[in-house]
Structure 1
Amino acid sequence: VTIEEGKTIILGLQAISAPDERGYRTVMATINGQLRPISVRDRAVASEVAAAEKADTSKPGHVAAPFQGAVTTVVAVGDTVTAGEVVATIEAMKMEASITAPVDGTVERLAINGTQGVDGGDLVLVLA
């Protein structure tokens, strides 16, 4: 593939995996001789996992995961929390961090069940 004059990339398809539970396939391709895995959503495959709800940063009661990891909530619906209180923990790469309430409030809804893998920005819980 010629990108512009003097810049050419040599591409080659090596393999395509079966779709995972989220409907993604891993495409193995060579780019200028280097083997690269590329994760691609296959829209023809129905996902078995519901898309994660993202926190709305304009709403102070939305508590979001700060980064990708495994989140465990330590509060329940109906619990009253104060700003700065730990409401969940997140673990990634053998390190654990606390997720704290940004405002005082009552836990209105938990967006995750038990311990669950999340991406950064995913909604963890809602405070009212």
Structure 2
Amino acid sequence: MPEQYLKKILTSRVYDVARETALVRAPSLSRRTGHTVWLKREDEQDVFSFKIRGAYNKMAQLDADTLARGVVAASAGNHAQGVAMAAQRLKCQATIFMPVTTPAIKVSAVRNRAARVRLVGDSFDETLAAAQVFCEKNAQ
């Protein structure tokens, strides 16, 4: 692994929020593939997904003025939860656009992290377009 890439990993702000999760051997998959398969248990994170890593790392690099304006994201689920958790930890308001078809449990998980949820569009593309219009109108 190139040294520069390893340095990025080790200095990432993600370790402020993400847990170190287990790496477990998957015997059944290993037998089926003829290779040793390991599973990284990111379902052990607070948001049950690896998505917190990217969301938090990106948001932790934002300056104070940007965080004060708040962040906007479009997601159908796991990324939304990651952004909501990162915003909560960084004391930043998050507005999350989600398709109207998003399961209620995912919407609740985002709202439980104090993010504003806007249910817009029947597809992710429609939801993303609405989030982009919102950003343009609100200078975000």
Name which structure has the greater RCO, CA cutoff 8 Å, separation 6+.
Answer: 1
> Greater helix share, 1 or 2?
2
| TM band (smaller chain) | under 0.3
Judging by fraction of residues, say which structure has more strand.
1
Computing the radius of gyration over CA atoms, which structure comes out larger, 1 or 2? 1
TM-score when normalising by structure 2: 0.22
